[in-house]
Chains A and B, each alone.
Chain A
């Protein structure tokens, strides 16, 4: 097991290195150099010439390319992704400052998504009424097709402005978390519902379910005690992508609800072409993906003891 985790961590480190390298080459090499892009902002965020000079020497832009890359990589290993052009603090610090807010939001959104998504999938599998069943089946495609920002604005319109149930903006308290988390949750819930109901449908047709039913088990026992556990595995596999989607959704949700967080930081960073911050965020997203995938591999054997992750991977 230790060997397995070690191997996965090595693979993860490779993905992180590759993400860093890809983003380095995209962000720092395409047109001109980073400093000239950052300095070419419009008047309102014009950059202090002294800072430009400092940045130029900081990045060593006069040096040959491989050397630049190596210097940047060594710095990145020390979690130094450069200095934010916006306010002169280090990019890592700028991200770390707002990270907790987004973690709160994403956790709440994820919990809601799992609850809503599984409720829809189980509802679709459980209900005997044809119309109800079709309603359950029609909701997930709808949830995938509606734009996240639009959901957010509609929620804002109804629950904040018309009924005044929740605050419209800000980061204070649980009440301000409800609508942004719901906005975040709806597309993810739709994906979970689709995946889960597809595999539930398949699982419920398997012979062992037939046998349990023949033995006289109730519908509830069949669904919750037997089928759900097996049906959850394909959804679990998608967890890494789903969490990444939450991160992308946070960009929209935090903008709509004017919440501080990584998402809004991303938008402001792109707006002011703050390359060090953008790169930090890209590497952070890759790191979250790597950690989630590792977590999923560790959870598999708990859900289905037949899956021996360590053995499966080493074969």
Chain B
């Protein structure tokens, strides 16, 4: 389980804890000092900083931040991943702040320009700025991904929770269906659903989400089984708490960790699936720009304009790489400390 959750305040951390102890160049008061003066457990943070600055609001938060940033300093890949995702989210929220070119109207005389200072990613066959199209496409791509992960997370968690806590034939029935879903490659499953749902960004998002339901259900069921045998759940049950209250109050919060780690991983996979499906032409119709369809649009200009395919693809790969790195950090927090 994530160590961070167990560590509510730095006052509880022992100086020997490799996570907090500064081995980096950042000067800290930890060392022999906190060992000598742990006399006031009620005032967290005294041992962590110079006594003169110990007073003030958020005493506990500051050293925790410092420790976190020191830890991050030792994982530059993680920082980079966070930066990439931060920028892409900003693209989606305020695209206008990142590119001055309009995404949908081009300058015909500027068609198929290679990347330059004016057009970072070059221009397409209609003279539209590719960087601007990628920036404006972020909202569609990320929203579709969020819908996909949301569908998978909610439906899968519910099914897994039901299977893991009700057991018996409900468990058998749900999990056999999940096994069958796992036997079919997820892209094929999504394609089958698109056949029924029809085309469009929302539909491919739903299809990708449904295809990931089985993964969520499995993890959630395992967690529900694990938590269901815990003493506090036994206690609640014998105290006469109703089953749905137990599920919501005890099982769900305690099972959330691994499920959320999985959803971080599934986020990256969903970016890939959605871009693949929109590359295949099942996404939104042409004028709108989604990352996968941007790559598809460059297919006809492979010889004349390498940037049309290459650069949007680099963006997709960078986003997936970044989410995978974050989900990795999320799933095994102890790995980031060394």
Q: Which residues of A contact B (CB under 8 A)?
A: 15, 18-19, 22-23, 26-27, 30-31, 37, 141-142, 144-150, 153-154, 156-157, 161, 240-241, 244-245, 247-248, 251-252, 255, 266-267, 269-271, 273-275, 278-279, 281-282, 285-286, 289-290
B268 on interface, CB distance cutoff 8 Å: yes
B272 on interface, CB distance cutoff 8 Å: yes
Minimal Cβ-Cβ distance residue in B for A148: B276
Q: Type the 1/0 row for B138-181, where 1 means its CB is closer than 8 Å to any CB of A.
A: 00000000000000000000000000000000000000110111
State the Cβ distance, A31 to closest chain B Cβ, in Å: 7
Could you say which residues of chain A place their CB within 8 Å of the CB of B176? 18
B187 on interface, CB distance cutoff 8 Å: yes
Q: Type the 1/0 row for B278-318, where 1 means its CB is closer than 8 Å to any CB of A.
A: 01111000000000100110110011001001100100110
* Residue pair B188, A285 in contact (C-beta under 8 Å): yes
From the candidates A150, A240, A279, A282, name the one contacting B189 in the complex (CB within 8 A): A282
State the Cβ distance, B67 to closest chain A Cβ, in Å: 27
CA A273 to CA B188, docked complex, whole Å: 14
B28 on interface, CB distance cutoff 8 Å: no
Could you say which residues of chain A place their CB within 8 Å of the CB of B272? 145, 147
Could you say which residues of chain A place their CB within 8 Å of the CB of B268? 145
From the candidates A31, A157, A244, name the one contacting B185 in the complex (CB within 8 A): A244
* Residue pair A252, B279 in contact (C-beta under 8 Å): yes
* Residue pair B195, A147 in contact (C-beta under 8 Å): no
CA A291 to CA B180, docked complex, whole Å: 14
* Residue pair B276, A15 in contact (C-beta under 8 Å): no
State the Cβ distance, A148 to closest chain B Cβ, in Å: 7
* Residue pair A154, B195 in contact (C-beta under 8 Å): no
State the majority secondary structure of interface residues on A: helix
B192 on interface, CB distance cutoff 8 Å: yes
State the Cβ distance, B283 to closest chain A Cβ, in Å: 13
B321 on interface, CB distance cutoff 8 Å: yes
* Residue pair B192, A278 in contact (C-beta under 8 Å): yes
Question: What bracket does the count of chain B residues touching chain A fall in?
Answer: 35 or more
Q: List 14 A-B contacts (CB under 8 A).
A: A22-B180, A22-B181, A26-B193, A30-B196, A31-B196, A141-B325, A147-B275, A147-B292, A154-B313, A252-B187, A267-B280, A267-B281, A270-B282, A278-B195
From the candidates B183, B187, B313, name the one contacting A15 in the complex (CB within 8 A): B183
* Residue pair A23, B309 in contact (C-beta under 8 Å): no
Q: A22-B177, A22-B181 are in contact. Are A147 and B317 (CB under 8 A)?
A: yes
From the candidates A150, A156, A269, A275, name the one contacting B295 in the complex (CB within 8 A): A150
Q: A18-B176, A27-B192, A161-B302 are in contact. Are A247 and B185 (CB under 8 A)?
A: yes
* Residue pair A248, B188 in contact (C-beta under 8 Å): yes
Minimal Cβ-Cβ distance residue in A for B298: A153
* Residue pair B313, A147 in contact (C-beta under 8 Å): yes
State the Cβ distance, B338 to closest chain A Cβ, in Å: 15
B112 on interface, CB distance cutoff 8 Å: no
State the Cβ distance, B316 to closest chain A Cβ, in Å: 5
Q: Type the 1/0 row for B246-287, where 1 means its CB is closer than 8 Å to any CB of A.
A: 000000000000000000000010001001100111100000
B75 on interface, CB distance cutoff 8 Å: no
B19 on interface, CB distance cutoff 8 Å: no
Could you say which residues of chain A place their CB within 8 Å of the CB of B99? none
B320 on interface, CB distance cutoff 8 Å: yes
* Residue pair B302, A157 in contact (C-beta under 8 Å): yes
B324 on interface, CB distance cutoff 8 Å: yes
Minimal Cβ-Cβ distance residue in B for A19: B180
Known: A161-B303, A247-B185. 8 other contacts (CB 8 A): A18-B180, A27-B192, A142-B321, A148-B276, A153-B295, A251-B187, A251-B191, A281-B192
From the candidates A145, A245, A269, A278, name the one contacting B324 in the complex (CB within 8 A): A145
* Residue pair A157, B177 in contact (C-beta under 8 Å): no
Could you say which residues of chain A place their CB within 8 Å of the CB of B187? 248, 251-252
CA A255 to CA B277, docked complex, whole Å: 12
* Residue pair B191, A146 in contact (C-beta under 8 Å): no
CA A144 to CA B306, docked complex, whole Å: 23
Q: Which 4 A-B pairs have the closest CB atoms?
A: A150-B313, A248-B187, A248-B185, A244-B185
Minimal Cβ-Cβ distance residue in B for A246: B185
Could you say which residues of chain A place their CB within 8 Å of the CB of B296? 149
Could you say which residues of chain B place their CB within 8 Å of the CB of A270? 191-192, 194-195, 282
B184 on interface, CB distance cutoff 8 Å: yes
Could you say which residues of chain B place their CB within 8 Å of the CB of A266? 188, 191
Minimal Cβ-Cβ distance residue in A for B295: A150
**CB contact list, B191-215 vs A, under 8 A:** 191-197
From the candidates B179, B180, B193, B279, name the one contacting A149 in the complex (CB within 8 A): B279
From the candidates A31, A161, A289, name the one contacting B184 in the complex (CB within 8 A): A289
Could you say which residues of chain A place their CB within 8 Å of the CB of B298? 153
State the Cβ distance, A165 to closest chain B Cβ, in Å: 15
